Amino acid sequence: MTVSRRSLLAAGALAAPFLLLGRKSSAAVRPNVLFIASDDMNNNLGCYGHPLVKSPNLDRLAARGVRFDRAYCQYPVCGPSRVSLLTGLRPDTTRVFDNQMAVRDTLPDAVTLPQLFRANGWLSVRAGKMYHMDVPGSVGTDKWDDPPSWDIAISPPGKEQHTAGKGRNITAGKRARWEYVAFEGDGKDQADERATEIAIETLSKNRNRPWFLGLGYLRPHLPHVAPARFFDLYPLGSIEPVVNPPGDLDDIPLASEIAINTRARDMGGMSETDKKEAIRAYYASASYMDWQVGRVLEALEKTGQAARTVVVFWGDHGWHLGEHHRWHKRSLFEESMRAPLIVAAPGRKGNGQGCRRLVEFVDIYPTVAELGGLKLPAELEGQSLAPLLGNPARAWKAAAFSVVTAPNGIVGRAAVTERHRYIRWSGPHPDEELYDHQTDPREYTNLAREARHAETLGRMRKVLEAGWKAARARV
């Protein structure tokens, strides 16, 4: 439900007795968890090596934590990805395959990550989007939220595309909308601005008790609404749209095209200026989100809680910016499956390093629970990344997995290893894809079509069929 700021201020006194019931340890030894989500955020950030995007606050967070360079979501769409991440269960178990479902629709007895902390005495607060929320349609509502996860749940409203400013719908008249607004000021009428204020207030009012704060930012999800000063960071002349090689789509299966048919083929035809404006708007929104994160991290430092707070930053899935002529999510290519993940846990030996090992978003639940000293539910299907926080270079999983569904019974499943990506499409248009990241990092050539790669294809088929249990790391 939506909670007022007055209710938030009063929550501290109401929560105190609950925190003391049946607890043997003091709140001082239990870490806070600042759990930050960014919507539709790909790996175009400074800390991930992007030459143009400015993300100084996330860069600093990565410098004091472990940056996971190959983190993969289990379903490249918001709702299913978030349900999987917050339950520690894979989509085949959650049975949540679209955005119009809540976690309790299929898992009435699930113990979600924030719910686990709540049950063990942490004050559990949500500010913004954590489970699915249509953007911009249901911003400010709790339509697919999960009440058992939170003591306090706040969905701040925002003006979104109705914000006063300069912008346009780049794709007007086409099947997709790519709308942006550059406004003056900081955005007091934006949902992300209000979520930041709630987060700062929460951690400031609860310095002497452990808290789990789910802080969900909308940006850089469309519409790209951000202060004009962030657009100014990216002059159009500095932006170079992706150049796809001729015939790039010739060897892509029909099922893959159907899975993302409303966002393929450059959204019905975009000029070079259209593409530059679209990319600039995305970058500006990402930098606006980064600025918000920085304000919360600064408050964490000022209140003296940084040394006992685990900070986790994640994007729910990736996002195409013209790769393979696509401008959306929902594909099983690298740009859609891969998303940022940073875990900053005080005192870990791996802090300040990047990790190139394969990790999955389903691993986040057991990782954070272990960092909180909590007993892990037996049914979890991920693997705690705590060993990688101590040694990011150690051997780890053999593969990461994702799935996507589409109309007419089409199902795509992907297995990613250190070197290869294999995709199998089943349903009315069965087909396969195979890519070698060593020779073809942008996945332009489908090797499944070539007989000379039959041995590799056969090996990758076995990886997919063996599944996630066979790919687990030995610890």
Residue 261, amino acid? N
419-462: per-residue pLDDT in tens? Answer: 999 999 999 999 999 999 999 999 999 999 999 999 999 999 99
4-25: per-residue pLDDT in tens? Answer: 333 343 333 333 323 322 233 3
Is the pLDDT at 200 greater than 70? The verdict is yes
Residue range 49-54: mean pLDDT, rounded = 98
54 with 330: CB under 8 angstroms?
Answer: no
What rounded mean pLDDT belongs to the chain? 92
Which residues are tagged catalytic?
A: 78, 132
85 with 314: CB under 8 angstroms?
Answer: yes
Based on the number of CB atoms within 10 Å of its own CB, is 197 exposed (0-12), middle (13-18) or buried (19 or more)? middle
pLDDT attached to residue 175: 63
Which three-class secondary structure state does DSSP give residue 64?
coil
Residue 20 belongs to domain spanning: 5-391
Total number of domains constituting the chain: 1
Does 349 map to a domain?
yes
Which three-class secondary structure state does DSSP give residue 126?
strand
pLDDT attached to residue 258: 86
- Helix, strand, coil fractions of the chain, as percent rounded to 5: 35, 20, 45
Is the pLDDT at 264 greater than 70? The verdict is no
Read off the CATH number of the domain in which 178 is found. 3.40.720.10
Residue range 296-304: mean pLDDT, rounded = 98
- Distance of alpha carbon 54 from alpha carbon 226, whole angstroms: 14
Which three-class secondary structure state does DSSP give residue 429?
coil
62-77: per-residue pLDDT in tens? Answer: 999 999 999 999 999 9
Residue 323, amino acid? E
Does 417 map to a domain?
no
Packing angle, helices 364-371 and 78-87, rounded to 10: 40
pLDDT attached to residue 55: 98
- Distance of alpha carbon 430 from alpha carbon 428, whole angstroms: 6
pLDDT attached to residue 364: 99
Q: How far apart are the first and last CA of the chain?
A: 41
pLDDT attached to residue 416: 98
Residue range 368-391: mean pLDDT, rounded = 97
Is the pLDDT at 400 greater than 60? The verdict is yes
Does 361 map to a domain?
yes
Does 108 map to a domain?
yes
Does 456 map to a domain?
no
Does 404 map to a domain?
no
Does 452 map to a domain?
no
208-235: per-residue pLDDT in tens? Answer: 999 999 999 999 999 999 999 999 999 9
Question: pLDDT category, 407, cuts 50, 70, 90?
Answer: confident
Residue range 331-342: mean pLDDT, rounded = 98
Strands (E), 280-419: 309-315, 341-344, 354-360, 400-406, 410-416
pLDDT attached to residue 177: 80
Q: How many residues does the chain have?
A: 475
Neighbours of 243 (CB within 10 A): 7
Does 9 map to a domain?
yes
Q: The pTM is what? A: 0.94
Place of tokens 């609404």: 225
